[in-house]
Structure 1
Amino acid sequence: MTPRLPPLDPAVAEIRLALRRALGSGESAVARRSDVPLALVALSGGADSLALAAAAAHEARAGGHRFGAEVVDHGLQEGSADVAERAAGQARALGLDPVLVRPVDVDAADPDGPEAAARRARYAALEAAADETGAAAILTAHTRDDQAEQVLLGLSRGSGTRSIAGIPPRRGRILRPLLGVPRSSTEAACAAQGLDPWTDPQNADPAFARVRARISVLPVLERELGPGAAAALARSAEQAREDADALDGMVDECIEELVEFAEAGIAVLIPALAANPAAIRHRVIRRVARDEFGALLSRTHTLEIDRLITEWRGQGPLTVPGATVVRAGERLVFTAATPFEREQESHGRVPPRR
Structure 2
Amino acid sequence: MPTLIGDLELPRVSPNFLELRKAVRRYRREAVHIGLSGGPDSLALVAAALAENMQVTAICIDHNLQAGSAEVAHNAAAMARHMGAQTIVKSIHVAPGEGMEAAAREARYEAFAQLTDEIWVAHTMDDQAETYLLGGLRGNPAGMKDASRRLELSIIRPLLRVRRAHTHGACEELGLTPWQDPQNFDDAYRRVAIRNKVIPLLAQVHGGDPVPGLALAARRAVEDAEVVEGDVEKRRHEWQDGFPTALAAEPRGLRRRMLADFLRGHGIAVNSRKIEAVDQLLINWHGQGGVAVGKSANGRLEVVRQSGKLKITD
TM-score (norm 2): 0.87
The residue identity in structure 2 corresponding to 1:269 is P
Residue in structure 1 matched with residue 207 of structure 2 by the alignment? 226
Instruction: Give the conservation status (yes or no) of the 8 Å contact 2:11–2:173.
Output: no
Q: Equivalent residues in 2 for 1:92-171 (5 A)?
A: 92-96=81-85, 98-108=86-96, 113-130=99-116, 137-159=118-140, 164-171=141-148
Three-state SS of the structure 2 residue aligned to 1:153 is helix
Residue in structure 2 matched with residue 67 of structure 1 by the alignment? 56
Three-state SS of the structure 1 residue aligned to 2:26 is helix
Residue in structure 2 matched with residue 291 of structure 1 by the alignment? 265
Q: Does 1:315 align with 2:287?
A: yes
Instruction: Give the conservation status (yes or no) of the 8 Å contact 1:317–1:324.
Output: no
The residue identity in structure 2 corresponding to 1:73 is D
Larger radius of gyration: 1
Which shifted more, 85-94 or 246-255? 246-255
C-alpha distance in structure 1 between counterparts of 2:175 and 2:69, whole Å:
23
Q: Which runs of 5+ in 2 are unaligned?
A: 1-9, 295-300
1:34-74 deviation digits (Å, cap 9, x = unpaired): xxx321121111111111111122112xxxx3112111111
Residues 129/210 of structure 1: CA separation in 2 closer, same or farther (3 Å cut): same
1:200-259 deviation digits (Å, cap 9, x = unpaired): 111111221111111111111112112231111111111111111111111123321x21
Q: Equivalent residues in 2 for 1:199-278 (5 A)?
A: 199-256=180-237, 258-261=238-241, 267-271=242-246, 273-278=247-252
The residue identity in structure 1 corresponding to 2:250 is N
1:101-124 deviation digits (Å, cap 9, x = unpaired): 111111225xx6211121122112
C-alpha distance in structure 1 between counterparts of 2:282 and 2:46, whole Å:
53
TM-score (norm 1): 0.78
Residues 275/129 of structure 1: CA separation in 2 closer, same or farther (3 Å cut): same
Aligned-pair identity in percent equals 41
Match of 2:256 among 270, 276, 282: 282
Three-state SS of the structure 2 residue aligned to 1:321 is strand
Residue in structure 2 matched with residue 345 of structure 1 by the alignment? none
Q: CA RMSD in A?
A: 2.0
Residue in structure 2 matched with residue 22 of structure 1 by the alignment? 27
C-alpha distance in structure 2 between counterparts of 1:82 and 1:326, whole Å:
54
Three-state SS of the structure 1 residue aligned to 2:263 is helix
Instruction: Give the conservation status (yes or no) of the 8 Å contact 2:291–2:302.
Output: yes
Residue in structure 2 matched with residue 52 of structure 1 by the alignment? 45
The residue identity in structure 1 corresponding to 2:292 is V
Match of 2:66 among 58, 77, 89: 77
The residue identity in structure 1 corresponding to 2:148 is R
Question: What is the deviation of 1:293?
Answer: 4.3
Instruction: Give the conservation status (yes or no) of the 8 Å contact 2:144–2:219.
Output: no
